[in-house]
Every structure is written in C-alpha cells, then in structure tokens.
Chains A and B, each alone.
Chain A
Amino acid sequence: MASVRVAVRVRPLSQREKDLSAKVIIQVDGQITSVLSTKENFSCMNGELSGERVKSFSYDFSYDSMNSTSLNFVTQEKIFKDLGTDVLQAAFEGYNACVFAYGQTGSGKTYTMMGNPGDYGLIPRICEGLFHHIGGVLQKDKASFHMEVSYFEIYNERVRDLLPSTETQGCELRVREHPKDGPYVDALSRHQVQSYTEVGQLMQEGNKRRATANTGMNNVSSRSHAIFTIRFIKAMFDGELPSETVSKVHLVDLAGSERADATQTTGIRLKEGANINRSLVTLGIVISTLAISPADVNYSETLNTLRYASRAKNILNKPTVNEDSNVKIIRELQAEIARLKALLSAGNQMPSFEQPSGSSVEERLHQDEARVQELTKQWASRWKEIQTILGEDAVALRKEGIGVVLDSQIPYLIRIDEDLLSTGVVLYHLKEGITSVGAGGTKPEQDIVLHGEALQREHCVFENQRGAVTLVPLPGARCAVSGMEVTQPYLLSQGVNIQLGKATMFHFNHPQEAAQLREKRKSGLFVPSNSAAFSVETFSDFRLWMPFLQKHKNRNPVGFDALIKHS
C-alpha cells in the first residue's frame, strides 16, 4: 500500500557561495541529477583519482531551480502539480500521505515546503487544494468535511507544540501510541479549520515560534524538524449507511543539522543521518524531497544527500511475518498425493484395493464412529446417516434380521480383541501390494501398527497380488495361521485365523474369494474375476477423505528471529 517517491531539487547559488566564487557542479537532465567531481575534490583525498568524474542519480523527479530566468526553471507550481496532486488524491481516498524534505542546512528545504508570501511552497498549496476540492465535492455529493491541523517541532529530541494552547505552552510533549487511534503527540492541540485563510494564519503563527537561527551557512536556518499534520475527515452516507474516512497528511520539514547537538552532549557519538522517530508518522504515500545546493563547495554534503534517496526507498522494508516452516504439512500432503495417485492408477488398471494404514487417528475416528453406530440400538433409525458416514468407506453395513452384516470387496483382517472391555471391531484392509505390520517406530512407518506382546517393530507383511493374499513373516517374528506356526510365506484363504506375537489375533476375510466360493458352490463352476468390470466409478466406496494421514508431530523448526532493532 505504501509507496515512496523521491524528488530532488537544486536551488540557485546563494550569496555566500557567490562570494566564495563557487562553481556550479550540478546538472539536471530529465529524471537524472548529475554531480561533477571538481579537481579540488579529487586532490583532496587520495584514492578517488580513478573514480568517475560525473556521478549520476536517477529519481522519480529531478528539478532544476537554479536560474529563474532559464527556460528549465522549475517553479513551486510545477512541484505542487507533480507531488502535491498525489497527496491530495491520497487524502480524499482515505490514505495517509507524508512529504519529507531532506538536505543540508541552507539547501532550500523550507522554501520548497513552505515558500514565501506570494511564492508559496508545497504545504500551503496542498491545504489550498484540499479546500478547493471540498468546495467542489460539497456541491456534488452530500458529504461533509471536517479538518483539523496541528503543528509541532522536534528540537533537541524534544517535542514542542507550535500552536500551543494554554496547557501546552512551554511544555515538553511526549509521543505516544494508542491502539485504536495510532501514534499521537500527547496533549498536542488541534485546531479546527474552515478555510484556507485560517490554515495560513495558523501556519504563520507556528512558523514564527519555530526555532530558526542565524548561522553562517544560512541566515534562517531551521533548527528543528517541523511536522504539520492535517487530519481530514470525510463523512457521507453510503446508501443508508453513514461512512467516515479519516486521512492524515504529514508535511515534514527536517532540520538541516542535528550533528552539532549530538557532539555537544556526549562528544563520543556518531550520529546517523536525520531520522524521524518511526512512531511519529504513519507512512502512506511517502514523498521525499531532496534539496541540494549547486555549488562545488558543498560537493560532499550534496553527494551525501543524493545517496540518501536510496535509503529513503528502504524506510518501509521490515520483515512482514516470521512464518513457521511448512515441513510437516508438506509431508502430509506428499503422503496424501501418493495415495491419491496410487488410487488413480489402481482405478485405471486393476481391481486393486487402496486401503488405509491402520494407525492413523483419522481412520480410527471414522472407525469409532462406525463402531459406535454399529453397536448402538438406535442405528436403524439413523440408517441414512450411517450410510453417509460409511458410504465412502470400503465397508458397508447392512441389516439382516437382527444382525448387522459388514460387506467389503477388499480382503481384510478383523482384529479379535482379547480385552473383554473392548467393544469395538477393528478392520484392516489389505491393499494391492504390500501391507507392513509391526509394533512400529520405523521409517517409513508400518502400515498397521500393533501393540502387543512379542511383536517386532517390523513383524510381517501381507502381500496382496491380484487378490491373492500371502502372509510373509519376517525373520524371528512369531506368526501362526489357524494355530500352526509359519516362518515361510503363506497363502491365506478365506476365513482363517491369524495370530501375531503372543496374543494378537485376527480373522482373515476375502470377500471376493468368498463370493467366488459361494458362486462355485452354487454353480459348480470357477469364475475368475473380471478385471474389465472395474472402473473408477465402481470404486466409489474407497476411503478418500483422510485429513490425518501421518503420525502427527507438533512443531516445526522456526527461523532465527530477527534481533531487536532498538537501542
């Protein structure tokens, strides 16, 4: 939202510079301002001899106001048109705007900002523009306006009211921040204004109070930063609703020098260039006006001012947020994508069966719901709801007499829990391919994680090859099928009981095999499964919705927080 524009303006040679027979070393061409290194500047310091003779800087605007008789001379009016119009626009739209002037003592900042009677600068012109606009809008819309101005200066790091009321007369004011109303100068007086004349009067009154001084460099050198603030409130009805926009325009005239103050007080401090306390100004559109002298005698200071622009552009660059890393989400998503892809390819090729990994809580949540529903007496009345919950699962419940029948097309294991208090039924699907089983804690995690005696971290795998399911015990793992210990791969058939470790029992069901067996029993024929009969649509009962696929880890590594900036 905030944008920064930088303009540079060159003033005419001053009497003092003429007395010193100073030469003009500045050239303005379009947006470019160039400084010529003079020979003297070269000889002054070693090491710069190889440097280029002309240093050029590009800005949003470069203004040549060196010679009032020249065709290129840029007037106050032109500067207002270029810079002031944006400020006005911002104010009407409810944005804040801020205009800074920066430059060496005596380089013409105050002239650009304030101007002289009859040759007004930016600030009076902007005020005039506001009233002019109000006049126009008042007739068109039914908007009402309210305008207040305040004016203060910062002198030697102290804030003083330039338009003091009886309370603030002679007091040092404090800069404070309010959560709703933003930064403000405590007790600063605000003056309601109705016309441009009133603004002009207040401004003059404040200017008289402002600390200026007669120095060798400038006979009216501004000793303080002066901040003139216009609070502009526009109230209107937006249809039936009252709407109010408040915008602030800050017009800042920075003091030419702070350095003397700094060295006087401590003698041991390098003071950075002029910087306004961050909390004073709410930056919206920011316009920095650099003011420079054209004279060679000010070469170094001018160069410094011109470089300031690059810093001005950087005022707003603060880190936006410190974000946590996305590592965990990325992993979750990768897993989900892998699953979706597997599903997609399964749907396109073979009657293979995507099946959930048994340990995720999401799945258990769903299973729990299934269990609860299954075992509750009201299940019949909620048939539809159960259908919706289970509809996308690979299982279906159907009522048969007083019993509940669980239908699934995928081979699965039913956990036979020895815990007498356990009322649930846990069902594990055996997908096409490998399903790993074990006590877990491995990477990647086992598909089915079990807790029980004598279970290895990786205990065994179930291999489903086109519907044929084989139990493959891993070395040292205790596995038994129908009471017989197995150590080699073992092809499972419909209805067998499987024991893993000491006491973890499962019942193996193979719905398709069972159906085939039933068919066979009926017709006496063996019907091989017809893969062509399966399409993506027929797999609508797959589990697809898996928000929590992985073991959930809680924290992410955090970036090194930026160190404090204060002091």
Chain B
Amino acid sequence: MAANNSIEWRAVCEKFRLAQELSEIESKKDPENNPFRSKYKARDLLKEIHCSLKKIEIEEQGEAGDEADCESSQTADGEPEDGFEKTFTGDSAAGLRAARLAVLQYHLGVNHIETEELSAGELHLMVCMKLIDKCTTTRENVSLFIHVRNQLGILWAGRDEIEKAQGFLEIAETMYLVYMKEDGQPPLDLQDFFVPEGEELSQQEKIRRFEMAYTHTLYYLAQVYKNLQQYERAAQYCHSTLQRQLEYKQFAPLEWAINAATLSQYYITKTRYMEARHCLAAASVIANLAGEIPSEAAAKESEAESEKREELLQKRAEIARCWIKYCLNLLQDAKKLLEDNIGELDLDRQDELKRARRNEEEEKEKGRKSAILFGSSDTFDSICSLEEKVSSMLPLEFEEARSIFLVGQTYVTQAKEYFAMDGHVTDHIEILQDHSALFKVLAFFEEDLERRCKMHKRRVDMLEPICKDLNAQYYLLICRQLQFELAETYYEMMDLKLAVADKLDQPDVHTIKKFNHLCSSSMKYYQMFLDSTRSPEGKFPEKLEDDLLRPALVAKFRVARLHSKLISSNLATQMENLSLSLESYNFVVQYCEENPEAKNAVETELELSMEMVSLLPLKINRIRSTLASSK
C-alpha cells in the first residue's frame, strides 16, 4: 500500500473515521424530526472517499478508470459477472484495492438501509459482494465476506424472503469454518482498511470482531431456520449463539437471559428437560448480572431508575413464567406416560418405568450434558446449584410430582407479583391458568380421592371469581377459556364425588345434593360458554366459526350428558331432565345435518348423540307411562 502515509491518504482515513463516528455515535443524538441527519452526513463523506479512492487508483496505476467514474456508487454494477472465476488473490495489490472499495460499498449499503432506502442499500451490498467475489478469500477480505452476507441476510429476511436470506448466511457460515480450518490467523477488520499505518487494531480486537460477526451469522441463521420451521436446527444455532456470546463476553445480560429462557421452551416441547433446565437456570443466573432491582423509593425519585426497575421486574417475571411451563410440562409429560386409556394411573406402567429409570437414565444424562453446557467459569456454580433445586426427570410417583409442583408454584407466586391482575389482566390470568393446570396434573398423582377433589376445588376457587369479574367484551377469548375450564373442573369433581360415594356403603342425601350441585355448576359454565357465541340479539349462530365449532358442540354434548346424570327421585323431574338431555343431543345431530362439514370435528360425539336421540325417547316414554299410571 504505497499511499499509506501520504497526506492524501491520511485525509481519507480521517474522513472515514468521521463518517463512522457520525453514523454510530452522533446519529443517536439526532432530533426526532430529522432522525437521519448524521447518517446523511456520513453518506456524503463515504461518497467523497469513494471518489478519492478512484482518483488515487488512477494516479497510481496510470490506467483509465475501468469502472466509470465516482458516480458509479449510485448505480448497480452492471458489468456482466463471469461466474466463479477468481481474478485476483485476496492479498494481491489488486485484491486489496478491490477489498477497500468493497468496504466502502458495504458502508454505503448499510447506510442506505438504515435510512430506509432498502433497494438502494441492496445494490451497494451487491456491488460489494461482487468486488470481493473476484478475489480469493484471504485474511484480508474474509471478515468483509461474512459481514456483507450478514447484511444481505437481514435485508432479505426483513422482506420475508427467508430462503434468500438463508443462502447468504449459510455461505457466510461455511466461509468462517473453512477459513478457521485453513488459515485461522486474526483477519483484517473492515476498519483496518482506512487507518494510517501503525494504527491498525490489535490482534485481540481483530479476533473479537471477527468472532462477533460469526456469532451474528449464527444468530441470524437461528432465526432464519425458525422461520423456515426447521426448529431443531434453529434451536441448535440459538444454543451455539448463546454459548459463544458467553464465551466472548459479548452479551447484554437481560437479553441473553430472555433468549436462553425462550430456548428452554423449545427443549420442553422435545421433552429434553435436562437441556431446558440448564437454559432456565442459566437464564436466572445471567439475569441477575443485570444488576440490583432499584427500590420503589429510588424508582419514584428518578425516571431512569423507575424504568430499570420495571424492566428488571418484567424480565424476571417472564423467566419465572418459563420455569412454570417447565414444571407444568414435566408433570404433564409424566402423566401422559403413566396413564392408562381412560386417564388413570397405570400401575404396571409405573413399575416398568421405575425399573427402566434405575437402569438407564442417569448414564444417558451424563453423556448428553457436556455438549450443551453454558461454560463460563464465574457463573457455572450458581447455575448448577439452581439446577439442583428441581428434577429434570419425569416424576413417577406423588412425592416426586409434588416437589416439582411446589417449585412451579413458587414461580407462580413470583410471576404474579409483577403480572398483577391490576394492569396485567391477560398475563395474570394466563399464569393462573397454569397454576390451575399444575393442580390438575398433581391430582393425577394423588391416590386419595377426597384430596384429589380438593385440588380441583382449588382450581375452581382461583378461576371462578376471575371469570365473574372479567368483561367479555374485552376478554372474550379468556372468558371462554375460563368458562370451559370451570365446566370441566366441576365435571371432574362430580366424577370424583361419585367415586368417593362408590366407596361409601350408603351415599346419603347430602352426597346426592352435592353431586347434583356439581352437575349443575358444570352445566352452568358450559352454558355460559355456549351463550358467549350468541349475537347481541341472543341468537345462536347458524354457523359456528371454525375455532368454536368443536368446543361448542362438545359443550352441548356434555350438557346433554349432565342433564341425564342429575339424580332425582321425582319422576316428573327425571322426565324433564331427560327431555333436556334429548334436546341437547338433538342439537348436535341437527347442527351436523345442516352443516355436514362439522361432522369431522365431532365424529364420535355425533355418532353417540345420534344413538341417544334414537334411544332416549324410549326411556322418556317409560317414565311418562309410569307417571301416568301412578296418577
């Protein structure tokens, strides 16, 4: 680089430095009504540098400009591209010249994109890419090679052209791997092209920036794969990103923690609870690095403290919610394994699983663990000790289930502190729904029917008052969910009462009353659910919306069943109940006749309803004739 120390060159370097400063520091202070002022200034400087470079090039080589004049920065590189042929080596003089021009094109591209001129930005990036594609990839241009593809990746992802984004990012990824394998020396950073001799970045800084660019590639790829619904790969890339961020200490604690907590949710869906727990424990520990939560008093004093307090509390509450899901799913997955075909604990299966666990699990977990660790020495112990507080193995008996339940419940309390009903209705209720689900699944492990029933009672107690208070005009969906869940909970309690009565020799009048009450409550909530689909004039829709179709018909079906379950010693009442039951079965049948497309949604229920519609009248007639004859 002959011109490295000329006055002219120093002026170019100074301009470049100024452009960087304007773009990255000054621009943050730009006024709202002129938000890109500094960016535009930077752009002008970059264009000037581009002209200077061309001039230097012509002077040095004494050749005619082969690429038109400095205006070329405004237009696409129209030259036909001759495939993959490499014209220069990256470290040749021509290669370096090309790279230097490409760095400028890169910055111009990013500048246009940041000022919302996406198409123009894209053109500059493409020019940049073509310039370096003429050269072999070396220490001099490998960093730019990755940076420009990262930018094109984001650009196309933003336009929802995910496959295009994927193409750029995967090439960047491969290039990093190839370079590290074949060379591995600290590569030149983009900035190194525009500094006077002797002011290049340190080796460590070069490495840091290069690794960061690659971390970004991985992070973008994670999102690209997620959008392509390749979840397994997306998770893998997320995990690597998080690991690398810790390793190179390039992370914002809260953001890192939230990403790790989110990743845990993926592992949960794959029943990889050990990984999920590791993510969550790491999330909790790293979130604490974000600092102490300012006190309420401090928050009142200053807006900055208030904002910080709000943010910390919110993120921690969100991590707590991820923990709740962890506990809940662990329990539910265990239940799925342990239940028989009618949802009861299968004792043989339980024994079998206990034996299997003793033999295998521990060995397997050990092997899996090393690959996924978030290895940062200073936080490692805290993460481990947090992990020890809750099992990552599927619980196989009540005591194990209970300890997971209790951890979940602690996080429920924690999450509710921030997501209070006052102000956070939707979130608060979602947490309550999880709490209810925790009780529901714990009940599965409980053998004692009375205690089981009490667990369901707790669910009713927490959901019922909220269901009453909530305005369906604003929270229609939640109201429906609550109504349905309450209806089902009462149904379960009714079944349990029956099973308890089954064990007693003589169910008394009180039991029967209680039973009828539970039936009626269940019916009441199913009815409320059904009523929520009515028009303001009170008309039931002729055609149910798709997402309501099955729930509504199931609700009708259950109401029909419940009507015929009510106990009464009075024949007339019996007859009335059965008639109401018939009416509801009939509704299901009629609806499906009028809307044949509904049949698939409720196949079994429809079949049974049709049978009942044909058979119930027989029952009703008998009672009628008995009634008639007893008069």
Contact = CB atoms under 8 A, between A and B. Distances in A.
Contacts of B154: 263, 270
Contacts of A337: 608, 611-612, 615
B481 A329 contact: no
Contacts of B615: 337, 340-341, 344
A552 B498 contact: yes
B344 A211 contact: no
A194 interface: no
B608 A552 contact: no
22 contacts: A47-B163, A179-B471, A217-B116, A300-B161, A301-B119, A304-B159, A319-B547, A320-B477, A323-B550, A323-B554, A330-B605, A333-B561, A340-B615, A364-B507, A365-B501, A389-B569, A545-B619, A560-B329, A563-B268, A564-B322, A564-B325, A567-B258
Tell which of B122, B441, B484, B498 has the most Cβ of chain A within 10 Å.
B498
Q: Which 4 A-B pairs have the closest CB atoms?
A: A182-B474, A177-B425, A176-B423, A547-B565
Given A223-B32, A322-B484, A329-B558, 17 more contacts: A176-B423, A179-B466, A215-B115, A270-B223, A303-B159, A318-B477, A323-B551, A372-B506, A388-B571, A388-B630, A392-B623, A544-B622, A544-B623, A547-B566, A553-B344, A560-B329, A566-B321
Interface in B426-485: 426-427, 430, 437, 440-441, 443-444, 449, 452, 466, 469-471, 473-477, 480-481, 484-485
Contact of A320 (B36, B322, B501, B551): B551
A557 B339 contact: yes
B471 A181 contact: yes
Interface stretch (B3-11, B94-102, B131-139, B488-496): B488-496
Contacts of A304: 158-160
B574 interface: yes
Contacts of B567: 362, 365, 547
B258 to A, nearest CB: 5
Nearest to A330: B604
A249 to B, nearest CB: 14
B118 interface: yes
Contacts of A391: 571, 626, 630
B332 interface: yes
Contacts of A270: 154, 157-158, 220, 223
A129 interface: no
A40 B76 CA distance: 10
A482 interface: no
A548 B612 contact: no
Given A327-B342, A540-B629, A552-B498, A567 B261 contact: yes
A177 B471 CA distance: 11
A364 B164 CA distance: 71
B36 A215 contact: yes
Contact of A557 (B32, B216, B343): B343
Interface stretch (A69-77, A138-146, A252-260): A252-260
Interface string B89-133: 000000000000000000000000011111100100010000000
B141 interface: no
Interface in B41-85: 76
B600 interface: no
B591 interface: no
Contacts of B303: 172
Tell which of B28, B342, B449 has the most Cβ of chain A within 10 Å.
B342
A325 B271 CA distance: 22
Contacts of A493: none
Q: Secondary structure of the B side of the interface?
A: helix
Given A361-B498, A555-B443, A213 B114 contact: no
A554 B564 contact: no
Contacts of B547: 317-320
B216 to A, nearest CB: 6
B604 to A, nearest CB: 6
Contact of B35 (A215, A307, A327): A215
A214 B630 contact: no
Contact of A1 (B341, B425, B476): B476
Given A391-B630, A561-B437, A260 B34 contact: no
Interface of B: 27-28, 32-36, 40, 76, 114-119, 122, 126, 154, 157-161, 163-164, 167, 216, 219-220, 223, 252, 255, 258, 261-262, 265, 268-269, 303, 318, 321-322, 325, 328-329, 332, 335-336, 339, 341-344, 421-427, 430, 437, 440-441, 443-444, 449, 452, 466, 469-471, 473-477, 480-481, 484-485, 488, 491-492, 495-496, 498-499, 501-502, 505-507, 512, 529, 536, 547-548, 550-551, 554, 557-558, 561, 564-567, 569-571, 574, 578, 604-605, 608, 611-612, 615, 618-619, 622-623, 625-626, 629-630
Contacts of A216: 36, 40, 115-117
Interface in A380-417: 384-385, 387-389, 391-392
Contact of B28 (A264, A271, A331, A392): A264
A522 interface: no
Given A179-B470, A333-B612, A369 B421 contact: no
A183 interface: yes
Contact of B622 (A1, A264, A540, A547): A540
A321 interface: yes
Contacts of B258: 567
A329 B561 contact: yes
A361 B507 contact: yes
B328 A561 contact: yes
A273 B162 CA distance: 13
A344 B312 CA distance: 69
B484 A385 contact: no
Nearest to B482: A321
B327 to A, nearest CB: 12
A556 B551 contact: no
A420 interface: no
A523 interface: no
A470 interface: no
Contacts of B469: 179-180
A266 interface: yes
B128 to A, nearest CB: 14
Given A260-B114, A320-B547, A544-B623, A555 B344 contact: yes
